[in-house]
Every structure is written in C-alpha cells, then in structure tokens.
Amino acid sequence: MNYGFANIYWRDMIRFVRFRTMLISSLLQPALWLGFFGIAMSSSFDSLMSGVPIPPGAHAVGYLTFMAAGIIAMTTLFTSLFGGMIILFDKNWGLMREILASPMPRDHVIIGIGLSGMTKSFIQAIIIMVFGILIGAGFFVGFSAVHIVIAVVGILVFVAVFALGFLFLSAGIAISMETPEGMQGIMTLLTMPIFFASNALYPLNAFPEFLKVISTYNPMTLLINGIRYFAIGDDFVAMGTHYVYTTNDILLSFGGLVVFALIMYVFACWRFNKAVVT
C-alpha cells in the first residue's frame, strides 16, 4: 500500500517545527488577540450587559469567554487557508514537479497537507483554550474531569473537519496559482467575509436578514457552535442573547462541516488532476 501522504505530512510538520519564527508567530498571534482585544473589550461589553435578565436554567458568560471560542475558530481558519501556500512554494522551487511525477497518487499530496494542517490546528486550539482559561475565559466551568476530556475531544473533532475543508480549498487554489502574491490576495479576500460574517465576535441576531441567512450556514459559524456547546454548555446567555443548543443543532452543524469538507476535497482532487507543473 502506498503511504506517500505520510511523507508529505512529516515533511510539512518538520518544516513547521524547524522554522522557529513561523512556529512562534502562529502560537503568539491568537494569544495576543485574547490578551489584548479580548480583555480590553470584555470589560466594556460586560458592564453594558450586566442588567440583562438571566432565564431560569441558563448561566451568564462574559465576553472574553464568548469570543475565545471565536478566536479558536479564527486561528483555525487562518492556519487552514494559508496552509496550501507550501504547495505554491513547492511549485516555484521545482519540488512539486518531482512529487507529481512520482508513483504516489496525487490525492496523497492533498491528504498529507490536510493532515499536517489539521495537526497544527490541534496544537493552536489547545494552546488557546489553556491560555484563555488562564486569563479568565469560563471554559469547562462546573465540568467533571471526564466531561472535560469529552468536551476537548468534541472541540478537536469539529476543528479537524473544519480545518480539512479549508485546507483542501487552499490546496486546490494553490495548485492553480503561479505567484505567492496572487495566492495571498485570494486568501485575504476569502478570510475577511468568512470571519466577520460569523458569530465569532458578536451574535447573529444583530445582522440584517440576508446576512443572517448567510452567516447561519457559514462553516465558521458551524464550527463556533460546536466549540461553544462543548466548552461553555448548551444553555447560556452572552452579549444579551440567550443561546440554547440541542443535540440535533450540534449534529446538524457537524454534518454541515462534513459536507463542506467533502465538497472541498472533490474540488482539490479536480484541480490536482488538471494541474500541469513544468
């Protein structure tokens, strides 16, 4: 059996560990978001929402807790969308020509890049959760040890499917591009609407109706639903909004991410099979 994807995976992970600047910056950026933006904004929003009544059975969470889940999703999005950049570098350095000319199936390149990007997202998600708790995010409050383990696994499963979807998208775009500048332009163009048209920083009920529909089916919103369900609970109030998540809601969110990842995988395979690297 051909395990070429494992070689692609290990090569990318070794590059990630050895390039200290990339490693440190990828871990510091989300911490800085939480440390500066989260703490600064939480005091303002929490004071504004202090008089909001809490429905029976629900518990109130601060803005830092609310947005920490969004920061996990944001970091996963950025890491995944730019994860395909290594494919473009390999094209420009002549390495991709050798890889595609080898007996290794082309979809193994996609799978290897996807798995390495997913691993990086796991590392970042865990670091953000730990750092968020240290600075005051109310994750896993009142959870038993077993419940915490189940919750962390649930979060990582959501992160994995989301990351794979955007890594496949990034790989499909990268194999079609010629310059890093063009690739970066497209990734930046995609990042902003995906991030801000989600419930990462604010509730969806403040959106106009047409944007609310788009945001509801935004893969990033689906990921954040899963993270908040596992990290905060199924019944809480944040930013003046009462959130109630049922098991069906979470299963639908997860199913939406799976469908998105499968579509992006088909797209990436199609672009790789059409690619001609000289």
Instruction: Examine residue 14 and state whether it is found in any structural domain, yes or no.
Output: no
Task: Please give the structure tokens belonging to residue 261.
Answer: 């990842």
Q: Decide if pLDDT at 33 tops 90.
A: no
Q: Decide if pLDDT at 108 tops 90.
A: no
Rounded to whole angstroms, the Cα distance separating 217 from 51 reads: 31
Residues 6+ positions from 64 with CB-CB distance below 8 Å: 34, 38, 39, 42, 132, 135, 136, 137, 138
Instruction: Examine residue 201 and state whether it is found in any structural domain, yes or no.
Output: yes
Domain count, the chain: 1
pLDDT tens-digit map of 171-186: 888 888 877 778 888 8
Could you give the percent of the chain with pLDDT greater than 90?
35
Average pLDDT over residues 144-162: 96
Instruction: Examine residue 4 and state whether it is found in any structural domain, yes or no.
Output: no
Instruction: Examine residue 9 and state whether it is found in any structural domain, yes or no.
Output: no
Average pLDDT over residues 126-135: 89
Q: pTM of the predicted model, to two decimals?
A: 0.91
Report strand pairing: 235-238 vs 241-244: antiparallel
Average pLDDT over residues 64-93: 85
CA angle (48 as vertex; 125, 59 as ends), nearest 5: 55
Q: Measuring CA to CA, how many Å separate 15 from each of 44, 114, 160?
A: 41, 15, 20
Could you give the percent of the chain with pLDDT greater than 70?
92
Task: Quickly tell me which residue has 């990351």 as its tokens.
Answer: 163
Q: How many CA atoms lie within 13 A of 240 on its CB side?
A: 11
Task: Kindly report the number of other CB atoms within 10 A of residue 126's CB atom.
Answer: 15
Instruction: Examine residue 179 and state whether it is found in any structural domain, yes or no.
Output: yes
Average pLDDT over residues 145-157: 96
Instruction: Examine residue 3 and state whether it is found in any structural domain, yes or no.
Output: no
The residue segments making up the domain with residue 256 are: 21-274
Q: Decide if pLDDT at 114 tops 80.
A: yes
Residues 6+ positions from 201 with CB-CB distance below 8 Å: 67, 70
